């Protein structure tokens, strides 16, 4: 019977190894990384024989290998593989006939055995063909393996000590990508609405444009985040651009990459000859950051919420024509507005999940505050990190040939 062990909930790989070890007298292990020797120590003390194949590369710990060499060497054969090596195979033998195996992703580390999300397949006597394949793999490893002696271990320990601080820093830097989510009801990626998923695609295309015009933008407006300068560039593309050569721009990538900076230069001349709206955009952003700051958002008043609404391109015209800013506060109530905007701006959930909830989740959805309002506001609040998205932006980006929907 096959079974997948993934370390999620109670399906812990290390516990499966312990259970299989109880019935085995000879255990073969091939893992690239080895840092945790307690289980092997236990098996040796119980009289089991162990063949262990490892790679002498970080994060394999020299100290763990050294402790293994101090065990009963009549029961432990410790090899290091001399060829680039990344296997994760386990084989439990009893009386040289009964076998149970595992093949998958878990190294012999605390993370691999107990904490990481892994994928290891149990192979038992129902699949003798696969067990034979695993045994054959161990036999072939011997062709590329040497017995680990104190000489090689000393050399490896020198390399490990020289690089362990770098390894520690790398792990620390990567830690933010491995934080457990606090949200109790995480939305699966395939359940995120298209509007929210399209924000990431839009962002990717905007970054292509930003790369083309960033130097020009920073020379003209050194204190204005580029995501703000391109936001007004979208207005010029939609309203002022004569659309000359648009078919060539949309159909010829090389021409487009040369033409976008030329268009941006025209936009700079247009904007600086007029009211220079781009130069003033950081003031809008600064005001919104004040009103909706992490420490202040729970003090937001009705009047300030209406000001926030009017500050958005996607809210201003509706406020003027339909008094949508008044409806926004009246229909939602200030407590709900505070709660939803605080979630949108400061939750630890992924940004597309936050956008999805503001659009679809009754707990966070706000009347008179649609997808454009939602995706524009995050850009105003974090203009150094995320772009503003509304219908005008969508139109301009796709008009320049960067299709994303």
pLDDT tens by residue, 334-369: 999 999 999 999 998 889 999 999 999 999 999 999
Q: What are 401's two structure tokens?
A: 């040939």
- Provide the pLDDT for residue 174: 57
pLDDT beyond 60 at 372: yes
- Quick one: what percent of the chain has pLDDT higher than 90? 69
Average pLDDT over residues 110-118: 92
| pLDDT beyond 80 at 1 | no
| Chain segment 231-286, per-residue pLDDT in tens | 999 999 999 999 989 999 999 999 999 999 999 999 999 999 987 889 989 999 99
402 close to 205: Cβ distance less than 8 angstroms: yes
Write down the mean pLDDT value for the chain. 90
What would the 3-class secondary structure string for 263-313 be?
HHHHHHHHHHHCCCHHHHHHHHHHHHHHHCCCCCHHHCCHHHHHHHHHHCH
Q: Which pLDDT score, from 0 to 100, does residue 232 have?
A: 93
Query: Residue 170 and residue 51: Cα distance in Å, rounded?
Result: 31
Average pLDDT value for residue range 135-146: 90
Question: What are residue 102's DSSP bridge partners?
Answer: 90, 122
CA distance 152 to 166: 22
CATH topology of domain 3-171: Endonuclease; Chain A (3.30.870)
- Over 90: is that where the pLDDT of 152 sits? no
Are 5 and 16 in contact, with CB atoms under 8 Å apart? Answer: yes
Edge-to-edge, what's the strand order for the sheet holding 76-81? 3-5, 120-123, 98-104, 88-94, 26-31, 49-54, 76-81, 145-147
The pLDDT, as a whole number, for residue 173 is 65
Q: How far apart are CA 81 and CA 145, in angstroms?
A: 4
pLDDT of residue 218: 96
- Residue 98 neighbours by CB under 8 Å, 6+ apart: 23, 125
Q: Out of 55-69, 231-245, 300-314, pick the least confident.
A: 55-69
Q: Is 181 left (phi over 0), alpha (psi -120 to 50) or beta?
A: beta
Quick one: pLDDT at residue 147? 84
Closest CA to 405 of 182, 230, 205, 136: 205
Check pLDDT > 80 for residue 385. yes
Q: Residue ranges per domain, the chain?
A: 3-171, 190-399
Provide the token pair at 265. 């230069």
Using DSSP, state whether 182 is helix, strand or coil: coil
State the pairing for strand pair 88-94/98-104: antiparallel
Task: Name the nearest CA neighbour of 241 among 218, 270, 281, 261.
Answer: 270
Given pLDDT bands bounded at 50, 70 and 90, which one contains residue 127? confident
Query: Which tokens go with 252?
Result: 């010829």
* Cβ contact 32:57 at 8 Å: yes
The answer for residues whose C-beta is within 8 angstroms of residue 2's C-beta and 6 or more apart is 121, 122, 123, 124, 126, 127
How much is the pLDDT for 191?
86
The more confident residue out of 277 and 108 is 108
pLDDT on residue 162: 85
β-bridge partners, 52: 29, 78
pLDDT, average across residues 32-45: 91
């Amino acid at each position: 019977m096959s079974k997948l062990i993934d370390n999620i909930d109670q399906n812990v790989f290390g516990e499966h190894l312990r259970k299989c070890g109880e019935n085995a007298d000879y255990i073969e292990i091939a893992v690239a990384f080895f840092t945790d020797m307690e289980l092997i120590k236990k098996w040796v003390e119980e009289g089991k024989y162990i063949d262990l194949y490892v790679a002498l590369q970080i994060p394999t710990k020299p100290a763990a290998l050294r402790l293994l060499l101090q065990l009963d060497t009549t029961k432990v054969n410790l090899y290091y593989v001399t060829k680039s090596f990344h296997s994760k195979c386990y084989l439990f033998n009893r009386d040289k006939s009964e076998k149970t195996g595992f093949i998958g992703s878990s190294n012999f580390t605390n993370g691999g055995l107990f904490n990481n999300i892994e994928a290891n397949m149990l192979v038992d006597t129902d699949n003798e063909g696969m067990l034979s394949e695993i045994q054959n793999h161990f036999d072939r490893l011997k062709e590329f393996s040497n017995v680990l002696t104190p000489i090689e271990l000393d050399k490896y320990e020198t390399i490990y000590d020289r690089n362990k601080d770098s390894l520690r820093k790398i792990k620390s830097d990567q830690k933010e990508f491995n934080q457990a989510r606090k949200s109790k009801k995480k939305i699966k990626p395939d359940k995120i609405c298209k509007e929210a998923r399209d924000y990431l695609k839009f962002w990717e295309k905007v970054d292509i444009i930003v790369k083309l015009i960033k130097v020009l933008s920073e020379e003209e407006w050194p204190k204005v985040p580029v995501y703000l300068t391109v936001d007004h560039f979208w207005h010029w593309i939609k309203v002022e651009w004569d659309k000359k050569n648009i078919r060539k721009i949309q159909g010829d990538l090389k021409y487009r990459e040369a033409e976008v900076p030329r268009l941006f230069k025209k936009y700079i001349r247009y904007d600086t000859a007029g009211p220079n709206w781009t130069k003033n955009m950081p003031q809008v952003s600064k005001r919104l950051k004040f009103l909706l700051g992490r420490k202040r958002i729970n003090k937001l008043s009705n009047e300030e919420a209406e000001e926030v609404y009017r500050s958005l391109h996607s809210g201003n015209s509706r406020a003027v024509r339909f008094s949508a800013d008044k409806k926004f506060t009246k229909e939602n109530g200030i407590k709900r507005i505070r709660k939803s905007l605080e979630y949108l701006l400061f939750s630890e959930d992924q940004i597309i999940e936050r956008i999805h909830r503001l659009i679809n989740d009754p707990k966070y959805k706000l009347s008179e505050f649609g997808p454009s309002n939602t995706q524009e506001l995050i850009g105003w609040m974090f203009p150094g990190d995320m772009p503003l998205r509304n219908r005008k932006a969508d139109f301009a980006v796709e008009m320049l040939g960067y299709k994303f929907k």
